[in-house]
Structure 1
Amino acid sequence: MRGSVWLDALTPKQARLCSSIYNELREEGFDLFVTARDYAETLQILELEGVPYRAVGRYGGASKSEKLIAYASRAQKLVNEVNSIELCALISLSSPSAVRVAFGLGIPTITLNDTPHAFHVGRLTLPLSTRVISPLAIPRRELIRLGAEEDSIMQYDGVDEVAWVRSHNPNPNVLKELGLEQDDLFVVVRPPEEKAAYLSNLSLGGFSDLINFIVSKGAKVILFPRYPDQRRLAEKVNGVVIPRRATDTLSLYSYSSMIITGGGTMAREGSMLGIPSISL
């Protein structure tokens, strides 16, 4: 196959998946080119996993206009990055800017999607994708509703997180990095994606109460905030530990008492490790 495979990551979860795909394809002898958006721990995870990447674009913020401006700016920058590279395919977890750039440049796109509730992202990516890959648990009609061609859909019986959880062995050194002991009682917490378009009316008040409740019961909270305002809110609470950099979260989960998350990825990772996990 001529040309490199282009991988694009927008979020920490996508960075995990990108790393797994990168390692698998590299072992198969493929040339690879990776781009990633500067958002939360995305770039740090790629560095932690030893994946070379080009940082392109930033997170746009909460408002629709900010998102649109950031999207347009990133699309232009991606064109500049890839236009002189021979690429045979793009693989992404529904990256609007990358998929639309690839479509415009005639690059075949393989788009993974496990969040059909993210309507805007689906509508911006699935109609332009050569192949759409999703878990079997997602009804095909949901993908077609978002614009996927029926004959482009490929489904598998499982979840994305298996790709990086299946071979993991817990490392206790992660506890030392965070000032914890193996017998410490702690709960891993991640707030909701409150600034995503599909959660635009969400309030953080209840999540703040949850953190205070956990601490009042004598447990520490290891918090992974998504945004600076979430970080500032949690820093006022004694008993909350906020990692300064991306860390070996799978090892951290293995020593935790519970995982509570406003998303689905951490809950699925934790459940596969045998840790009680709640997705709000």
Structure 2
Amino acid sequence: MLRSLYDRLAPDHEMRITARDFDSTYALLNAWNKPYLQIGKHGGNTLMGKLRSYSDRLVALIEFAEKEKPDFLFGLASPEGLRVSFGLQIPNIIFNDEPRSTGVVKLSLPFAEHLIVPEPIPVEWFTQYGIAMERIHRFHGIDEVAETVYLVPDPNKITKVGLAPEQYVICRPEQTAAQYHMKTLGEGDTKLPCLLDPLIKEHPNLTYIIVPRNISQRRNLEKHYKGINNIKFFNYLDPIEQFLYHAKFVVCAGGSFVRQSALMNVPSVEYFPLGLYPQERFLIENGFPLQFLRDPEENPNICIEAIEKFSSYHANLEKTRNLENPIDLAMNLFQKGSSA
């Protein structure tokens, strides 16, 4: 989402991007080919690791701010970034669509001057963490609209890596380092095979693209699917929008991939232990092709059923273009502040 924001701001402003070492962040930024600063890393799936990484990144960001003297902060709900913003009185506009990450929002939302959130999420889910109602700005849509609405489909982006439109499935396992998985899954664990094994058996002629969250997860999945030739592993997908748009089906343990694919009218299944989230409910109620379950063991055949149920659905962006874009809201707030 911040890539869209960068493209809107860069023509008229000097930009600095900071990023921490987490998942495929660095790889995607390298592919984007924009300069960025590597500051800190994710703390992993232990409480001590998270605390140490917070402390280290906070110090590094203070040094960055002292040297670069930024005038404004755009970002996601970063506890370290917002603490620096508050301490140095740097104005900010922040995006958040994940109040389930309670540690993050407790440490960040009180310092947000403007918080942009999807309208489907109850506003009380944010105000309970110490941010005043007047600092919250809601839009009719979800965050993934920002990276979806202006997509120009280009099948050449996927054919050059040996894929054909509507002949592959994208699969994304759990983010085991997230707070909500720490007590139930080890770093390399995943329940993805519970859904994927019957799907492969039912549709053996499709190609299956698995995008693991970490090295341990990849090793375990490679071992599980050893010798199966129609499975390919990718560390990241770039440009992700093209891969999602041209897929036949997407199954994901968590929101971003599957929300974006559903916005593209691509049949999708999400599994997530904390239950159906407001964004997914919004998509389902507005007719986007998405199904949900908490635990793959509840219905291992849900992917097979979803492909059949949504067999008449093909990728298009018609409905998505009727939703609001959070970047438009951010730009309006920024321009009002700049002219004040």
Q: Which TM-score tier does this pair reach, normalised by the shorter chain? A: 0.7 to 0.9
Larger Rg: 2
Residue number in structure 2 paired with 1:118: 101
Q: CA deviation at 1:44?
A: 2.3
Structure 2 stretches lacking a partner, 5+ long: 272-340
2:234 to 243, 247, 262: 243
Q: Distance in 2 between matches of 1:35 and 1:205?
A: 30
Matched, 1:270 2:252: no
Amino acid across the alignment from 2:214: Y
Q: Which runs of 5+ in 1 are unaligned?
A: 1-16
Distance 1:88 1:205 in 2: 42
| Aligned counterpart in structure 2 of residue 80 of structure 1, from 57, 63, 70 | 63
Please tell me whether the aligned partners of residues 212 and 234 of structure 2 are also in contact (alpha carbons under 8 angstroms): no
Query: Would the aligned equivalents of 1:270 and 1:277 in 2 still touch at CA under 8 Å?
Result: yes
Larger % of strand: which? Answer: 1
Shift of 1:35: 0.3
Structure 1 residues 144 and 244, CA gap change in structure 2 (3 angstroms): closer
- The root-mean-square deviation of aligned C-alpha atoms, in Å, is 1.8
| Contact 2:190–2:217, Cα closer than 8 Å, also in 1 | no
Other structure's SS at 2:34 match: coil
Question: Between Structure 1 and Structure 2, how many residues are aligned?
Answer: 262
Question: Counterpart of 1:160 in 2: which secondary structure?
Answer: coil
> CA shift at 1:202, angstroms?
3.4
Q: Of 158, 166, 175, which aligns to 1:175?
A: 158
> How big is each residue's C-alpha offset from its partner over 1:185-227, in whole Å with a ceiling of 9 and x where there is no partner?
3210111222211222334453222232222221332111111
- CA, structure 1 residues 70+44, in 2 after alignment: closer, same or farther (shift >3 Å)? same
Counterpart of 2:194? 209
Map 1:70-109 → 2, pairs under 5 A: 70-109=53-92
Normalising by the residue count of structure 2, what TM-score does the alignment of the two structures yield?
A: 0.72
Decide which of 7, 20, 25 is 1:42's aligned counterpart: 25
Q: What is aligned with 1:198?
A: 180
Q: Counterpart in 1 of 2:207?
A: 220
**Judging changes above 3 Å, is the alpha-carbon distance between structure 1 residues 240 and 201 closer, same or farther for their aligned structure 2 residues?**
farther
Residues 92-139 of structure 1, C-alpha deviations (whole Å, 9 max, x = no match): 111111111221222122221101111111101001111111011111
| Structure 2 residue 254 is matched with structure 1 residue 256 | no
Residue pair 2:110, 2:130 contacting (<8 A) in 1 also? yes
User: Per-residue displacement from partner, 1:204-254 (whole Å, max 9, x unpaired)?
Assistant: 453222232222221332111111111111212123211245422211122
Q: Are the aligned partners of 1:75 and 1:98 in contact in 2 as well (CA < 8 Å)?
A: yes
Query: CA deviation digits over 1:79-102, x for unaligned, max 9?
Result: 111212232221111111111122
Q: How does 1:6-17 map to 2 (within 5 A)?
A: 17=1
- Residue by residue over 1:170-199, the C-alpha shift from the partner in whole angstroms, topping out at 9 and shown as x without a partner, is 22233344332346x321011122221122
Residue 14 of structure 1 aligns with which residue? none
Residues 147 and 241 in structure 2, CA contact (< 8 A), matched pair in contact too: no
Evaluate the alpha carbon distance shift between residue 95 and residue 202 of structure 1 in structure 2; reply closer, same or farther with a 3 A threshold.
Answer: same
Assess, with a 3 A threshold, how the Cα gap between structure 1 residues 83 and 229 changes in structure 2: closer, same or farther: same
The 1:246–1:258 alpha-carbon spacing in structure 2 relative to 1, beyond 3 Å, is closer
> SS where residue 71 of structure 2 aligns?
strand
**Distance in 2 between the 1:156 and 1:245 partners?**
29
CA–CA separation in structure 1 for the residues paired with 2:29 and 2:48: 29
